[in-house]
Amino acid sequence: MEQVYMVMLIALALLAITDLVVGVSNDAVNFLNSAIGSKAVPLRTIMIVASAGIAFGALFSSGMMEIARSGIFVPSMFTFNEVMIIFMAVMIADILLLDVFNSIGLPTSTTVSIVFELLGAAVCLAIYKILVQDGDLATLGSYINTTKATQIVVSILLSVALSFTLGAIVQYISRLFFTFHFEKKVKYIGAIFGGLAITAITFFILIKGLKSVSFISAENYNWIKEHQWTIIGISFVLWTGLAQLLMSVFKVNILRLIIIIGTFALAMAFAGNDLVNFIGVPIAAFQSYELFSGSGMSADSYTMGGLASNEIVAPFYFLLFAGIVMVITLWTSKKARDVVATGVDLSRQGDGAEKFSPNALSRFIVRTSVYAGIGINYFLPKSVQLKIDKQFEQPEVKRKKKDAPAFDMVRASVNLMVASILISIGTSLKLPLSTTYVTFMVAMGSSFADRAWDRESAVYRVAGVFNVIGGWFLTAIVAFISAAVIAYLLSIGGTVAFVGLLIVAAVLLYRSARIHARKAKEEEEKRKLRTEDIITIHEIVNDSSHHISKVIGKTNKLYSEVVDNLGLQELKKLKKNKKTLRKLEDEVDELKGELFYFIKSLDESSIEASKFYILMLDNLQDMVQSIGYIVKNSYSHVNNNHKNLKFNQIRDLKSIDNDLQVLFDKIKYTFDKESFGDIDTILEEKQELFDRVSNLIQKQIDRIRTTETSPKNTKLYFGLLLETKDLITASMNLLELFRDFYQDYKEVKEKAFPVL
């Protein structure tokens, strides 16, 4: 029988490695967000510093493994077999849950997930055990550590509100002193700010980091806690003096130093504190097996009260291996970059493509904030308003650079400093604050105070914050339910359920990886469509050719698929066509959203180029709207179970589809190969195509007078033909526009560089 538990331990070890990978992918945002967003130091340096922090935290910390062993449930109330079921259910649920969040690019709390998975699995087995033994459900409280669970929920709510508020206040005050032209101000107040920030981070390392390191005795740690204010005072004086020395003598940018130290501190805290979230359960299972193997009792009778002992320490080699896996994952995980990108996008300074859509709540909050601002300004003297606004004036940016920072080093320093202080306070008060909650909400608060959420972006950013916060609470609910269900299946299914769940988990993880790879490829294609680096007329021609080719190719494929799917009444495929359409609409809309930066990137001699680019995008938009009508109405017709189009109608549509395929293939080839001399030849086909569509419209009129009896079919058919005509018109207008612009460009080029 013990062989089964050995297999479970091996499975838990493999699950622990997987959990480390998905866990680091999720939590990398906690310590990389500020450094990557500010671009204070090269990415390679950031990764090296973060890796050192992770290694230090993992190697010299025994973690808070008691949470997994006895922090949520009372081990003496469960047998060895039941404890192993709890641990197995938790690990399977945790991996699947975190992978889902990573795949959609949302940061969530690994602390909350592991706690509520332990709670869900333990509650499920406790209820199952009580019912089997004909016990009283009122005794459920004796199985669960309700005090700890309540404390965690309260700390979640507290950390969300407190982190945002303090992040906003500290950032607002810091910006009033530094302004956005901080390079000048840092010479005078940089040493004091550096002393405060590095003192806060140092205090964070002492209180948060050294709490669980194995080489610090309890007496030394208690002495540090008792002399906190003395340590803070001495640290402030020393760090302020050192900061002034570094700035004056060695010309060191103190803000950059703050960001490097802060990144190391938060990475160390992540490894030291959150390591339990990934390997705490497998280590607890291993220690449970050690206790059970020497007992001589059966797995169903041996109770696990020994897990509550404070003398149990996590093996050092487990921590060493975990540290290595975490560092490797940090360097290789693409999902980690997506999660970091979400935090950076929501806190970036300035406009751009927004990841989240506005909702009623975000609109209400933004509208209320606008009215509140108007009310405050009514009572605030005009001179004070002007002075404050001057402090928030941003440097003029002629064009949006591809590698521009999302925010400056002042905000990055504030993020790290405030997050360090809050986590230190939470630890000293024994509040299990989540590093994810604190770091994310501090970043959101500082971006709000920095006026990054202006009237152009606020409704999207607020919606994004609520999406992330909602995801956190959803984590708790889903973690509880999923772990409970898996625990129940393992209880009643035994070995069969165990093997089956492992197979299901493996399949889902593989599928998730495939989906993420496809999304990453699509995102890479979208990046190629962006206009932020266009400067010269030659680049405009090349970039416009690329856009036109992309849209024409996707429109051609979409039109052909819709005609086929409409004829065969393929509702699922038409629904898939709608999704493809939405992606195409988003791509063109994103291009139009970057028009401001495109126009600013051109000099005064390129006014005609700006007009051309605007009109080009307008024609692309017309094409997308036409194909959009065709896709949406075809889907709606089939979805409403209306009669199918007649055979003659489908045949006629297919003939137009064939003509369009030939036309669009020619256009795409022309722009792909930049053989723009062929445009006039293509334009000659315009009238012929119009005549064919007009003939089909006349044929349908004749059908109505003789045989046609379906008004729905007639409405759809006429709509498809008319939108096809509009699609051809937009395509031809686009060709004429490009031909004229390219001809002017060639003439200018020939005058500037005449052939000798």
Mean pLDDT of 294-310: 83
Give the C-alpha separation, 144 to 602, whole Å: 66
More confident residue, 195 or 341: 195
435-449 and 110-132 helices cross at what angle (nearest 10)? Answer: 140
Give the C-alpha separation, 349 to 369, whole Å: 19
- Identify the band that residue 441 occupies on the pLDDT scale cut at 50, 70 and 90: confident
pLDDT value of position 457: 75
Per cent of the chain over pLDDT 90 is 20
Contact 157, 438 (CB under 8 A): no
Give the C-alpha separation, 181 to 177, whole Å: 10
User: Tokens 């016990």 map to which residue?
Assistant: 135
Contact 187, 228 (CB under 8 A): no
Give the C-alpha separation, 214 to 314, whole Å: 10
pLDDT at 754 over 70: no
More confident residue, 244 or 351: 244
pLDDT value of position 531: 45
Residue 79: beta bridge partners?
303
Scanning 181-253, the segments in alpha helix (DSSP H) are: 182-204, 218-226, 228-249
User: How many residues in the chain?
Assistant: 756
Q: What is the 3-state secondary structure (H, E, C) of 34-46?
A: HHHHHCCCCHHHH
| Buried b / exposed e along 706-737 (16+ C-beta atoms within 10 A) | eebeeeebbebbeebbebbbbbbbbbbbbbeb
Give the C-alpha separation, 675 to 742, whole Å: 11
- Identify the band that residue 461 occupies on the pLDDT scale cut at 50, 70 and 90: confident
Scanning 133-181, the segments in alpha helix (DSSP H) are: 146-178
Give the three-class secondary structure for 79: strand
Q: Using alpha carbons only, how large is the chain's radius of gyration in Å?
A: 31
Give the C-alpha separation, 170 to 217, whole Å: 35
**Following DSSP, what letter does each residue of 518-577 receive, concatenated?**
HHHHHHHHHHHT--TT--SHHHHHHHHHHHHHHHHHHHHHHHHHHHHHHHTT-HHHHHHH
Give the C-alpha separation, 127 to 134, whole Å: 10
pLDDT value of position 639: 92
Mean pLDDT of 519-540: 58
Give the C-alpha separation, 171 to 174, whole Å: 5
Contact 16, 279 (CB under 8 A): yes
Mean pLDDT of 583-596: 82
Burial class (CB in 10 A: 0-12, 13-18, 19+), 440: buried
How do residues 694-728 score in pLDDT, each as one tens digit?
898 888 888 887 776 678 888 899 999 999 999 99
Query: In this structure, how many other beta carbons lie within 10 angstroms of the beta carbon of residue 454?
Result: 11
Give the three-class secondary structure for 559: helix
The encoded tokens of residue 699 equal: 């044929």
Q: For 570-722, where are the E strands, in sequence order? A: none
For 736, residues 6+ apart whose C-beta sits below 8 A from its C-beta are 683
pLDDT value of position 516: 63
User: Tokens 């103190």 map to which residue?
Assistant: 254
Query: In this structure, how many other beta carbons lie within 10 angstroms of the beta carbon of residue 486?
Result: 27
How do residues 35-52 score in pLDDT, each as one tens digit?
888 888 888 898 899 898
How do residues 465-511 score in pLDDT, each as one tens digit?
888 778 778 888 889 999 999 999 999 988 889 889 889 888 887 87
Side chain identity at residue 259, one-letter code: I
The encoded tokens of residue 392 equal: 């928030």
Mean pLDDT of 232-246: 92
Give the three-class secondary structure for 301: coil
CA-CA-CA-CA dihedral for 431, 433, 439, 444, to nearest 10: -90
How do residues 541-577 score in pLDDT, each as one tens digit?
777 888 888 889 999 999 999 999 998 999 999 999 9
The encoded tokens of residue 314 equal: 């996590």
Give the C-alpha separation, 255 to 85, whole Å: 49
- Identify the band that residue 756 occupies on the pLDDT scale cut at 50, 70 and 90: very low
Nearest to 126 by CA among 415, 484, 596, 481: 484
How do residues 121-180 score in pLDDT, each as one tens digit?
999 999 999 998 888 888 888 898 887 777 767 776 778 888 889 999 999 999 998 988
pLDDT at 379 over 60: yes
The encoded tokens of residue 499 equal: 């093997």
Q: What is the mean pLDDT of the chain?
A: 81
CA-CA-CA-CA dihedral for 363, 364, 369, 372, to nearest 10: 140
- Identify the band that residue 626 occupies on the pLDDT scale cut at 50, 70 and 90: very high
pLDDT winner (highest mean) among 446-455, 513-522, 534-543: 446-455
Mean pLDDT of 77-85: 92
pLDDT value of position 495: 84
DSSP state of 277: I
pLDDT value of position 489: 93
Give the pTM: 0.71
